[in-house]
Amino acid sequence: MTSQELINSGKLELYVLGELSEAEAREIEIASAGNPDVNEEIRTLQNALRKYVMCFEKTPPLGYKRQVLEDLERQNEERQAEESSKKADKEKVEKFEILEEKSKASKILLPIFIITSVISMIAAAFFAYRMQNANNDLEYLSSDNSLVKESSLKEKEALLHEMVAVKSNLEFALLSVEVLKDSSFTKIDMISPDGTFKVPLYWNKSNGEVFVDGTNMHELSEDKTYQLWAINDGIPDNSGTVTPKKRYLQKMKGTSNAEAFSLTIESKGEITDPSFENIYATITLD
């Protein structure tokens, strides 16, 4: 039993009044030994009892002990009620602080959601428009036999390829918006060795998904490529190539464990080991 629990138990009042058994009184004396809080409470109760007794004759009136016990019990209840009230007030303050923090977070995230939603709608409208134009052109060519004969197979194939590309771009754009809105993804900025630019990486550690934003990455010569590496226990794992200037997030090979991410410049072809002398951007995680 802690000092506060002993003080609130009412046993100290009974001890001062001599209402405890010898064994119980001995427990109180052992508990109070070297305990300033319990000793101070006993002295307070003894002084209160002494003053109370001085108000009467040497022989206490009938029912005196019961009245003292009732008064002490009432004081104990009042003290416990006060402590409960303080605890309730503290819980209210903590709940308010939590709600306030959530409110602040909502105010920060709301503009992000609005922006990403607007981007999503614009992207959807743009790509849908391009798809519709390509589809209309194809239908027009097919509806006129003379034009069908004149148009080459390559033109039809080009239109079909454009429709597929537009659909693919739309899907990637919408996926990018979902990643940006998903709070389970952590944004990690890979930084160039000279510290002049950053390459954002989005990592969902719970399911291992990794996305890279290559929008502002520099173009490379045709024989070079950007390669992402997830490094764990000092061992690099090839996470895939990153294409610069793409206007959407690029999904990479997932990983649930990584102590660092590095983006290197490699020669095109099968790559098994990174050339860390050509690091484009990197980040070491805590």
What is the reported pLDDT for 128?
56
For the cut 80, the answer to whether the pLDDT of residue 238 exceeds it is yes
Q: Is residue 97 part of a domain?
A: no
Structural domain range at position 130: 107-181
Q: Is residue 101 part of a domain?
A: no
Q: Are residues 120 and 38 in the same domain?
A: no
Burial class (CB in 10 A: 0-12, 13-18, 19+), 114: exposed
Q: Is residue 249 part of a domain?
A: yes
Q: Is residue 118 part of a domain?
A: yes
Asked if 185 and 203 touch (Cβ cutoff 8 Å), the reply is: yes
How many domains does the chain fold into? Answer: 3
**Among 143-152, 169-178, 263-272, which range has the highest average pLDDT?**
263-272
> Of the given ranges (65-69, 143-147, 165-169), which has the lowest mean pLDDT?
143-147
Burial class (CB in 10 A: 0-12, 13-18, 19+), 228: buried
Q: Is residue 132 part of a domain?
A: yes
Q: Match 């009974």 to its residue by tokens.
A: 14
Predicted confidence band at 109 (pLDDT cuts at 50, 70, 90)? Answer: very low
What is the reported pLDDT for 141?
52
Which of these three, 181, 207, 242, is where a domain ends? 181
Task: Specify whether the backbone of 269 is left (phi greater than 0), alpha (psi in -120 to 50) or beta.
Answer: left
Rg (CA), the chain: 38
For the cut 90, the answer to whether the pLDDT of residue 282 exceeds it is yes
Enumerate residues 6+ apart whose C-beta is below 8 A from 193: 279, 282
What is the reported pLDDT for 65?
56
Share of the chain above pLDDT 70, in %: 63
Token output for 223: 């024989």
Q: Is residue 82 part of a domain?
A: yes
Burial class (CB in 10 A: 0-12, 13-18, 19+), 103: exposed
What is the Cβ-side half-sphere exposure of residue 249, based on CA atoms within 13 angstroms? 21
Which of these three, 151, 181, 211, is where a domain ends? 181
Global pTM value = 0.47
What is the reported pLDDT for 81?
79
Q: Is residue 20 part of a domain?
A: yes
Q: Are residues 164 and 191 in the same domain?
A: no
DSSP state of 268: S
Q: Are residues 257 and 227 in the same domain?
A: yes
Q: Is residue 34 part of a domain?
A: yes
Q: Are residues 118 and 74 in the same domain?
A: no
pLDDT averaged over every residue in the chain: 76
